[in-house]
Every structure is written in structure tokens, then in C-alpha cells.
Structure 1
Amino acid sequence: MSDIQYPYYTIKSLGDLNCKEDKIPGYYVISTATINVEIADKINVHEVNGVNKKNKLFIQEIAKRLVDESKKKDDPPELVVHIHGYANSRKDARKRYEEAWEYVNSPDSKLELAKSNYVFIGYRWPAEPPLKEGFDSLKALPILPSCILKISSVVVISTILLLLITPWLEVRLNLLSLLIFVIVYAVCTVMFIKLNLPSKTAKLINLYLFFNEIALFVPVLLCYIFFIIICSQLRIFSIILCGLIIGIISALIILRLLTYSRDRFRASNYGVLDLVEFFQDLQAEKIRIEGITKSRIKISFIAHSLGCEVATQTIRILADVFDDDAINTVKNQHSSNISAVFTLGRLVLVAPDIPIESILTTRANFLKSSLIRCEEAYVFSNEADLALRLASTAANYFSFPSKDRYRGYKLGNVTVNRNPNSPPNKNGCQDPNSPPNKNGCQDKYGIVNVQKDKLQNPHQYLEIRTYQETERKTLLELSGETQLKENAIADCFTYFDCTDYTEEEPEKGILSFARKKDCLTLCDYFELCLAHFFGFPRKIDTHGGYFEGKFCRGLIHDLAFLGYEQLLGDKYYSNQDEFSNACKNRNIQVLLASNLLASKKIPHPCDEG
């Protein structure tokens, strides 16, 4: 078995249309990493050879398709990789990829299937749905907090029972107090052993744990006798103190049950490396078929949530910092070539769970090193994203080195200033020539930063909004500068603020209630929590709803497959104004990156010097 290469991933086909030449083939690549390291992989040892053979056949099929397309057409063949985000189960990930694949092969898509040279890949890394672990999370609790949790629970429960029973009997019964304590302690001990040991554990180990519990019981009992029975005035204090301890440990357990930190670890340590392995195998197969040629495979990414980190870190690994292209990049000669056979195309980040610091800092970071090689880059965000505002920022509080909450926000929290061009009027709007809506704000949607054919830098329009109007901060305020440099990373993206995004028939908000407010309030977030978690009064997915709305889902995939320039063609949108109006009709705010101007005369904002 030592000579057998254990597979890092498995490949399956999406749908049954791959045999048709006029369809874009789709594949489902699944990392074989498991949710927990103790769980054995589902692939049996005897099946490893079979999985490796299937993977090899699929790799050959994908490589042959791409090589054949490169010989038929002048344009390079393209591989579009879709990567899911935080807390997506395997079933949910496959469903999203199948829907995406069906869309690009449907008449609704902007692609000319007969002329297409694409291959679609849906990549599944081992994410975990929240709360799935349940009581198993207690098994992973370290010994010290586990013992503290048990002792605190025993003290609280037994003391409360004592306070309830003593008045009823109208007498102080110390023996009754001891009896209650012993019973509660015994019950908690049995539960502790059951939770921490599998059912088929050696009796010797059970006996060892039993004597450990007896040894712990004696000092705990003595403390209980002194603080609860002898010093009866300390009972309430003991309940409060132990309750506080239980609350702190329970908060840590809840954070674990939300799975955010665990998902981030798996994304960085399993998801990235297994995807790199797939690209290595594909590169080796292409070189085997035709050797190293000038023909390259263009890779574009659609990434959602934590999948954005998987995508950008994968690009960073594939782009060797010591190769000639990377060295030329440092010298401002931007090359999209990565590895021996790939070139980087478009990068579409949807609700990116990437620190906002990555677009503010002047230091080297994985986002910048990925971004400078992209032809085009897009960010889809919205103010109402509860996953990024709650789970992500809560985890950042413990791990991210910032001294205020603003720098702890994510790129997916960045929104477009509703009224960026004029001082506020008495209604709170910033354009005195435009009438306010019923909420006192100007409805400014569509392309915002192109006025009279003149492009303004996107970073001038970006901000972080909280539930308090007084706490909103612009990107410039966060950076501490009066003006970002011309080569600012923030200006390399085209931004789509989908906070008020609506669909027609009937018109309703997809990612929020779409009330067109200048800033969402605490009451708005409370309503969104009810809608997001409990489906009241209707279900709203504030984090993944981008793929549920027809227009937004189509826009994401069309940009990834075609890019902005091809999208503005006679067959799609005749000009930039028509595209702007289409976004405006659905209440989406757009900030164009400098390299998307039709004139193409303004230098790329990532160019230094």
C-alpha cells in the first residue's frame, strides 16, 4: 500500500450533456479531506486504485478538450472554476454547481455555445454546516475547561435545587444539601464519561476515568460544604460566579458550533492544496499531450465567501514568486501567466470573506499578488450580509490584529456610498438637485463613478456602514489618508453593491428587504435575522442570495465567462449606458475599475510608478 498514491480529490461529471459537442462540459471536483481528522476517508483502501484511474481518465478528458479547442480557435481555451463558500454542505455545493452549469448551457446565458471553448469546474472543499456537530463538540473541549464546566454546572444546579427545596420544607437540612450535590455530581459525571468515550471502550479505561472522577469529587465536595452549606450567604454569589463561567465556556462552544474558524482552517490547509494538486495534474497531462507550447489555458474563478480565499491563495501558489513572469510583475510588466501552461483570466469574488485590510495596506498580501495578474476583477457585496457581519467579524475579534472594529470587517462588507458627490441637504441627501425618496435618500443606482465620460477612482465611493449613521466610515477614513495612491488595490476591482437588489414579477428584495435606506438600522438587522434564520415573514439569504436572483446570477456567470468588454456587445448590451440602466432597474450600484473604461486611455490602477 506504500506505493499507492492516495487521491487528494475525486472527479465526477455534472449532468449527462457532456457527450454533446455544442454544450459546455461540466465537472465536479471534490477534495477528499474530511471534516474531522479522526474520521477515516470514505474511500476504501481497496478502492484507491479505482479512484486514481477514474481521476486520470477525467483529467485526460478535460485536457484533451482544452487542447483540441486551442487548435480550433484563435482564442485560448478557458477553464472556469466555481468555488463555494462557508458552511456549504456537499449537497448544497453540487446543487449550486449544477444550476450554474445548466445556466451557461441555457438560452438565458450570453454565451454562444457553438463557438464556446470553455470547461466548467465546480470545486468542493470540506466545509461544514453550522450546528451539525451537536454534542460531539463537547468531546473536543480541552480537559481544564471541561472540568470547570462540569463543576460549575453541578454547583449551579444543586444550589438552585437547594434554594427551592429548603423553604418548602421550612428547615435547613445540611444532609439534604449533600444528597442533592452528590446526585447532581453523579449524573453530570456519567454524562461526561458517556460524551467523552465511544460506546466500545475498554472497561479498564472506564475504571480509570471513574477513579479520576472520585479524586476530583473530594476537593469539590469540601469546597461545596464550606461555601454553600456553612457560608449560606454565599449561595447567590456562587450561582452568579459559576453561571458566568458557564456562559464564557458556552460562548466558546457556540463559536465552534458555528464552524467558521474550522471552515477557515480547512479552506486554507485542505481546500487550497487539493485544488493546486488538481491544476498540477491537469498541467502534467497537457504537457504530455502536446508538450510545452505557446498555447495556454485561461483560468477564471467564481468564488463565494471563504471560497474567495481558496481562489486567491491558489493563484498565489501557482504563480511562483521566483519565475520570470513574477519578476517582471514586480517591475510593473504585468503578466497573466501562471505556472507552465496557465494564464489568469477573470476573478469574480462574491461576498468575499477577505479582510478589508487587503485593499488598504501598502504591504504585500496574497490578494494583491493575485489581483495584479488578473485581466478583470469583480466584487459583489451587500450591507445586509449577516454571515460576514456576525460570524466573520466575531472570529476576527479573537484573531485579527486590529484595535477597532472597522479594520476587522471584510471585503464583502464594503458598500457604495449612496450619495458621494455633494454635501448633504436638509433631507440627508447629497445631491441637492435630485428629489429624495420616501426614506430621505437619493436613489442612485447603475454605474455611479462615470460622469460625463469621466471616471472617478472607485475608492472615493466606498465605505463601511454600521447600524448607526454616526459610525459609517469611508475607505479614505479607514486608511487614514486624504487620497489613496493611483496604484491602490481598491481601484483594481469593479464593485457591485447589491444591498437593494430586487427581481421583477413581483418586485422584492433578494438580499435584504430593499427599502433603499441610506443606512440599515438595528431594527432592520433584527428583521433580517428573523428572515435569514427563521424565514419570517419570508426567507432571505443575505449571504448566498446572489445566486438565487436571475439577473445577479446571470451577471456573475456572464462576467466570469465573457468579461465586461464582450458583455458590451451588440448581442448583449449595446453600450455602457444600457448596461448601467439594466443594473439601475434592479437597484444595483456599480463602480467601474479604471481598466474597464471604453476609452482604455487611463492606465491600469495597479500599475506602479
Structure 2
Amino acid sequence: MGATQLEEALPYRWAESSAGREACANDQRWLGGIVANAAPFSDWWAKARIVQLAYEPMYDADPAVYQGKADPRAIADALHNELKTHAQAFDWAQCQERYPGFCRLVDEEYVIKTLNHWKRREFTKAIGRNFEVYRYLGQEGKQGECGEWCTQNTFLVVSTASVSLAVERSLPNPKLFRPLFNVDELAEIIHQRNIRALTLRTHGYANPAGGFYKFLSDEANYLFAKPKPGGEPTDTLGEEHLYIGYHWPSEQPVFNRGLIRDSMSNLEILMKFLGSLLLLSFIPSVVLIGLTELAEKIDLVRDVGPQWHLAIAAGVFFLWLSLLMLLRSVVYQRDRYRAIHYGAPDLAEFFWRLDKSLKRLMLQDMGLPERDERVQLALKRSRKLVNLIGHSMGGLVLVNVLRVLSDRFGKDDQESNDDGLGDCLKLGKLILASPDIPLELLREGRNNYVRSAIRRCEQIYLMSSDRDIVLRYLSTLGNWFSEPSVEMSGLRLGNVFLPPNPEKEIQKTPRRKRRREQLKILLIRGAILTRQAVRPTSAYDLFENFSYLDCSKMKGVNAVALELNPFTAIPIDAINTFFYLTGRIDVHGGYFFTYTPTFKLLPFLMQVTAPSEEDVRHELDRFDERDTIRFLYRAIPTPGSVDIDTSVVESDEQSDIAIGSSEAP
């Protein structure tokens, strides 16, 4: 046994009193909830099981769970036996290979520390990680198609928050995903194999856990597939790259048992809601009743009796109830709340803990004190590149994650070129596919909280579509009561699009002004009419940092060949709605179908550092044979690139760059 000793002898017992019985019920409910919702054989699952095994089965406790072990070694052995029982087809050597963190760390010392945390009332802190990490095991029947690094380099990070207090989490299929013991195990994999880059991809609104796990496995099988003959090395990912899916708590709209369970488990609150709504409905009811009585007096209507008054009051109540319940059943605002308050903080914690673990491993290798200048230089030189891909509301998650992780905020950070996400990680590309983010985010006075964070990205790519009816209509309805202005609720970044010939539009302006004048061609529409996405009062810098991929006519997200104009706008939406509802296309999420040019472009963007405009166009020509994607490269060149002539840049920087000047778009 190590130096650590138990502070209270085993086995543990609850007091034989009414208070002890209550404490027993509370502890069993808490520990049972952890075991039921945690990944088996993960860090916090093991700690909860250790406490359960330490207590005697009192007050009708299950003796198979609470075994009253009298020795820490016996508890560790019991957990190892549970692993052997779980993995019946494997011997102990194979268990150690599949669950290395659990087998190595869960020993007598680990048990003692856990039990001491419990007795000191520090157990919540000891298990306090708001995410879990899994490794992809491969999809049955597709292992042969998958490249060598598919199962070794694909991981899943899951927020431990559930969609509701009344609904348990949906854990990944153990046949497809194996839980890591904790984030330290992932850091060891990255460090030992000298992984150079990580790409994290997250989902958007209305993506329940099971569906996202399947999407991730399909994407991994494609991204790590064996290169095709005659292809480019960047067509698939290699051994030095990790692909990580992140799932934050999102739920299925309408047909969702969790919605009913959530209401039925809180009947008192439900009745309070109904009572408040009934009282408020009296206000318009009284007004309508007064109008009908007035109409009766002047002989506009006749025979308006009390029964009609009751019908009016009931009609107002049920109309309001139907609308409010509909808004709740589409779960848009619920998902938005969870994205901001659960998804973003939990992902930020993942990066923070991963960076901390990588730093600890590097310090061990170097054998130098942390404050040594050589350590800081070595850490900066060996930083791992982090690319971020966010779809729909997932873009909002990533923007808020960057906000949390950014070292400094606000306009005073404009001169900073630090791209670090800590000591061992640095930002690469930010790819936003149909982001459910207000266009106002990029404008002066509305983006101080993300300006410094977004500036740290190597490059930013926006994949958008003017035909994204989900984003344009449903998002407007869902954000109508929450956004500060009507324009913010109706104009989303994912609906920005380009004219049919963006290159010709840019060439119409003098070369000296081209950097800023090219932003005039960015368009956006409400329903029928279009307008410039960048107005004269806009700040330029964030718009100029984006590279725009207009996917409005790309296969997978569109089924109409018509060009957009005021006469075709509504027919285009109607036809695409039909094909969307019948499952032929996905107007909002088709960017990630593995056959689409946008998805085929992802490995290239993940691996090539600061690609030039020519490089990106070359890849688009390879994958987009029908020339359906319109491309506008960033106006501000990436540092070190040669995309824009130096003399043009210098002359442009010396021109009128003040926000709101006469030369502003």
C-alpha cells in the first residue's frame, strides 16, 4: 500500500436512525444516477462504484451493488472482475489493451483516494468533469473499407448534461464506441503518437445523440478511407490527424417522449403555467367580448349570448396554449439554451483539460521546471493544431467556446496575433456550415465579445445557401422573441450568398479598391427580396476574414436549377420543401453528405496550412464538376500568403479605411 491511508475504516455503514435511512436513500439515488448515466469503466463511473462497494447493503439496498468490502484491494479486484465479466470474449491482457487507463489506474491507491474524497465531502469535485471521451471501434461490415487509422484516430466527446432533468442520457453504442478512462488517456495517445492536428466537428439543432453517433461513424469511414488510385494525399486524413465529434445535449423535435416525461414529472409547474395562461387570456377575451356587445348594440350582429362569450374566452386560451406548446415541442429555444449554457462551457472545459494534460506530459519528458524559458519556447513550437467545424447551431457553440478560451476580449486586442488555445494547442481553421448565427454578429458594436477570439483563427470558411429554408424561416420564428432586433432574428449568417458570377462583379471595381469593394457582392434575402449583406455602417474586418462558399445550387442541399430572383424565390422554396420533407435532399445539413463537394473538400482544408485562393479553387474544380459552388476568397490575405498583390494591399491600407466612409460597401 502507498503512503495514502484510509481516513475511516471499511466497511462503511449508514446510521441506524431515521436520519441515516434518509441519508442512505439520498446516497443511493445519487450514486445510482452516476452509474446509470456514466460511461462504464470511465473515471467517474469507477469512483461511484467504489463508494457503492464500500457500503454494506442496508435499508433494502441491492446486495449485488452494495457489498460492504472490508479492504481497498478487494474493491479494486471487484472492479477488475466486473471488467472481465463485461468483456467475456477477452482475456486480461486484451482487457488491458482495450481499457488501458482503467486497468492501470484503478488500484488500491486509487480506491483509497476516492473513499477519502467521499468522507471529506469532496466527491463532487473529484468526479467533476462535464464531458466524456470515447474511441471509435469501427462500423461492422466496413472495417475493410476503412483506412488503417480510422479506428485509431476517430474519437467522440460527449457533454454529460442530459436534455432534461427527467430524461436519462443516451450513451453511445458500446459496439461502436469504447469510453476512455478520462481526458488524460486521450492526451497520452496524442503525446505518444506525436499527433500534430485535431479536427473537432459538432452538430446543430435537433440532432439527438443516436443520429449524431451514426453520422460520425459514416464520416470517419470516409475521411480515413484508403486513398483512391490517382487521388491526392490530402483527399483523406493520415496517421498524424485526429477527427473528433462533439455532441452537446440536443433532442428530437415533436415526437419525443422526453417532452411528455418532462411535463408529467412536474405537474405542479405545469398547472401553474396553465393557470397563468388562463388568467392572461382573460385580457384579450374581455376586449373581444366588449367588441361583440358593441356590435350587437349597433345591430352589426345579433343573438350574442353568454355561450358566445364563453366560446371566445376558451378560444383565446386554447389558441395561446397551442402556439406556446408548439414552440416548446419544436425544441428550438431549448436546444439554443443548451448549446450556449451546456454545450459551449463543456467543450471549453474539454480543451482546457486536454491542454493541461498535454503540458504535464511534455514537462515530464523535458525534466525542466515549468517557468523555465526553454519550456515555454518548446511548448509554443510543438503546439497541436485545432480545426473546428460547426454546423447550424453548432456554429454558435464554437463561437462561444472561442469566446471562453480567448485570453483577452474586446477591440483592444486587434493587434494580437496569438493563435493559442493554451500552452499546447493553437487555432487552425474555423469552418461554419449554415451557421445559425445572426448576421449582426459581424457588425461593429455587436461583436466585441467574439472579435478577438475569431481573429485568432488561421482561416475562416463559411458554407451557406440562400435556399436554406430551415434557417431562414424556422430560425426567424424561433428567435423572434429572443434576439434584440427583428433583423437579427431574420437575417442569419448561413443565408449569405453570392451572385452568379462573383469574379466578374469584383472586376468591375478599380483594383485599388477591390479588397473592400468585393464585399458589396455579398447578398442575403428575407423571403423574396435580396439586399446587400454588408451595409455602409458595417465594420469590415470580420467580413474580410471569411472565405465564402455559396452552396445554394449544390447537390444534396438543392433540387432546383432556377436562378434566384423575386419571381422564382417562392417556387424555389416550395419545391425544395417538398424534396426536403420526402428525404431527397437536406437543405440545412446536406453539406456533410459524403458524396457532396463540400465534404470532399474538408480533408484538404483540415491538412493544408493557409491554402491560397488558387489552391482552394483547384480542389473545388476537382470535386465540383458541375460548378455549382460559388467561391469568394477572403479579402484580407493570410499572413505569409501571396493571394493579394503587396502593392495593392499597401495602397488599400493607406486609403479610406475608416468605418462608414464613402468608400465603404
TM-score range, shorter chain: 0.5 to 0.7
Match of 1:348 in 2: 431
Specify which of 598, 611, 629 is matched with residue 565 of structure 1.
611
SS of residue in 1 equivalent to 2:523? strand
Q: Does structure 1 residue 473 correspond to structure 2 residue 531?
A: yes
Displacement of 1:552: 1.8
Match of 2:631 in 1: 590
Q: String of CA shifts for 1:277-312, please: whole Å, max 9, x gaps.
A: 211221122112112523211111111011111111
Match of 1:440 in 2: none
Specify which of 162, 166, 169 is matched with residue 34 of structure 1.
162
After superposition, the Cα gap between the structure-2 partners of 1:494 and 1:372, relative to the gap in structure 1 and judged at 3 Å, is same
Displacement of 1:525: 2.4
C-alpha RMSD of matched pairs (Å): 3.7
AA in 1 matched with 2:310: S
Q: Distance in 2 between matches of 1:334 and 1:606?
A: 18
AA in 1 matched with 2:533: L
Q: String of CA shifts for 1:198-231, please: whole Å, max 9, x gaps.
A: xxxxxxxxxxxxxxxxxxxxxxxxxxxxxxxxx9
Q: Distance in 2 between matches of 1:11 and 1:447?
A: 48
1:84-483 alignment runs, 5 A limit: 84-106=203-225, 107=227, 110-112=232-234, 117-131=240-254, 132=256, 133-136=258-261, 138-139=263-264, 142-147=270-275, 233-291=305-363, 292=375, 293-294=379-380, 295-321=382-408, 330=413, 332-402=415-485, 404-405=486-487, 408-416=490-498, 418=499, 443-444=500-501, 449=506, 455-457=514-516, 458-469=518-529, 472-476=530-534, 479=535, 481=537
Q: Distance in 1 between matches of 2:383 and 2:188?
A: 16
Q: String of CA shifts for 1:461-517, please: whole Å, max 9, x gaps.
A: 112213323xx22124xx454xx55x4311210111111113xxxxxx633423223
C-alpha contact (below 8 Å) 1:446/1:582 kept by paired residues: no
Q: Which runs of 5+ in 2 are unaligned?
A: 1-117, 172-177, 282-302, 364-374, 659-665
C-alpha contact (below 8 Å) 1:446/1:581 kept by paired residues: no
Aligned length: 466
Q: Distance in 2 between matches of 1:13 and 1:462?
A: 41
Match of 1:82 in 2: 201
AA in 2 matched with 1:339: G
Q: String of CA shifts for 1:136-172, please: whole Å, max 9, x gaps.
A: 465466434413678999xxxxxxxxxxxxxxxxxxx
Q: String of CA shifts for 1:525-574, please: whole Å, max 9, x gaps.
A: 233333323x1xx62211101112421211234323335617955xxx7x
C-alpha contact (below 8 Å) 1:445/1:587 kept by paired residues: no
AA in 2 matched with 1:552: T
Q: Which runs of 5+ in 1 are unaligned?
A: 44-49, 70-76, 154-230, 419-442, 503-508
Specify which of 571, 575, 592 is matched with residue 527 of structure 1.
575
Q: Distance in 2 between matches of 1:341 and 1:286?
A: 7
SS of residue in 2 equivalent to 1:590? strand
Displacement of 1:264: 1.0
C-alpha contact (below 8 Å) 1:80/1:299 kept by paired residues: yes
After superposition, the Cα gap between the structure-2 partners of 1:606 and 1:316, relative to the gap in structure 1 and judged at 3 Å, is farther
AA in 2 matched with 1:60: E
Q: Does structure 1 residue 513 correspond to structure 2 residue 560?
A: yes
Q: Distance in 2 between matches of 1:395 and 1:145?
A: 20
Q: Distance in 2 between matches of 1:41 and 1:444?
A: 48
C-alpha contact (below 8 Å) 2:475/2:489 kept by paired residues: no
Q: Distance in 1 between matches of 2:524 and 2:454?
A: 22
Match of 1:176 in 2: none
Q: Distance in 2 between matches of 1:459 and 1:86?
A: 29
Displacement of 1:124: 0.8
C-alpha contact (below 8 Å) 1:104/1:111 kept by paired residues: no
Identity, in percent, stands at: 24
C-alpha contact (below 8 Å) 2:207/2:250 kept by paired residues: yes
Q: Distance in 1 between matches of 2:645 and 2:244?
A: 31
C-alpha contact (below 8 Å) 1:31/1:274 kept by paired residues: yes
SS of residue in 2 equivalent to 1:398? coil
AA in 2 matched with 1:463: L
AA in 1 matched with 2:501: K
C-alpha contact (below 8 Å) 1:302/1:560 kept by paired residues: no
C-alpha contact (below 8 Å) 1:256/1:262 kept by paired residues: yes
Match of 1:543 in 2: 588
C-alpha contact (below 8 Å) 1:24/1:120 kept by paired residues: no
After superposition, the Cα gap between the structure-2 partners of 1:338 and 1:57, relative to the gap in structure 1 and judged at 3 Å, is closer
C-alpha contact (below 8 Å) 2:170/2:210 kept by paired residues: no
Q: Distance in 2 between matches of 1:587 and 1:521?
A: 18
AA in 2 matched with 1:510: V
C-alpha contact (below 8 Å) 1:496/1:590 kept by paired residues: yes
AA in 1 matched with 2:569: T
Provide the TM-score with structure 1 as the length reference.
Answer: 0.68
Provide the TM-score with structure 2 as the length reference.
Answer: 0.62
